[in-house]
């Protein structure tokens, strides 16, 4: 079964543009076809202090992955790209790459490891601005 998935990407360490492009390429190869991609948006850190601004983007991806397989795949990409820690209890920090699942079709999922739609996305301009750019 084919799913339409929206992903939010962010990076605030290293060559952010190259990192986002690498993540997009890995998503294309391992998750599914990138149907639409937003422009890159530079934003200040949200929820923590850092001198490093983020570069953010959103993708619309067509995938055959079920929700938990999608989560496993995006987390594996983050880890492979050098992301050492996931956010715990909203203790945010600098990160080389962050891939958030924003929406999967019109599914509602509320499990400890996966919440869809993403519960904080509407509070975050760094998600909503690029997302609105690619939403039909």
pLDDT at site 90: 55
Residue 47 confidence class, pLDDT cut points 50, 70, 90: confident
47-71: average pLDDT: 95
**Per-domain boundaries in the chain:** 3-134
Q: Are 105 and 30 spatial neighbours (Cβ–Cβ below 8 Å)?
A: no
pLDDT at site 91: 61
User: What gap in Å lies between CA 8 and CA 126, rounded to an integer?
Assistant: 9
31-57: average pLDDT: 94
User: What gap in Å lies between CA 65 and CA 27, rounded to an integer?
Assistant: 12
| pLDDT tens profile 67-94 | 999 999 999 999 999 877 665 555 667 8
CATH number of 3-134: 3.30.70.560
């Amino acid at each position: 079964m084919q799913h339409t998935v929206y992903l939010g990407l962010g990076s605030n360490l290293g060559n952010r543009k190259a990192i986002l492009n690498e993540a997009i390429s890995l998503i294309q190869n391992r998750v599914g076809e990138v149907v639409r991609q937003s422009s890159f948006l530079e934003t200040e850190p949200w929820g923590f202090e850092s001198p490093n601004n983020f570069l953010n983007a959103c993708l619309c991806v067509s995938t055959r992955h079920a929700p938990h397989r999608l989560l496993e795949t995006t987390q594996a990409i983050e880890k492979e790209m050098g992301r050492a820690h996931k956010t715990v209890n909203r203790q945010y920090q600098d990160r080389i790459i962050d891939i958030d699942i924003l929406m999967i079709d019109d599914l509602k999922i509320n499990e400890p490891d996966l919440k869809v739609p993403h519960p904080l996305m509407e509070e975050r301009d760094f998600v909503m601005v690029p997302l609105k750019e690619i939403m039909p």
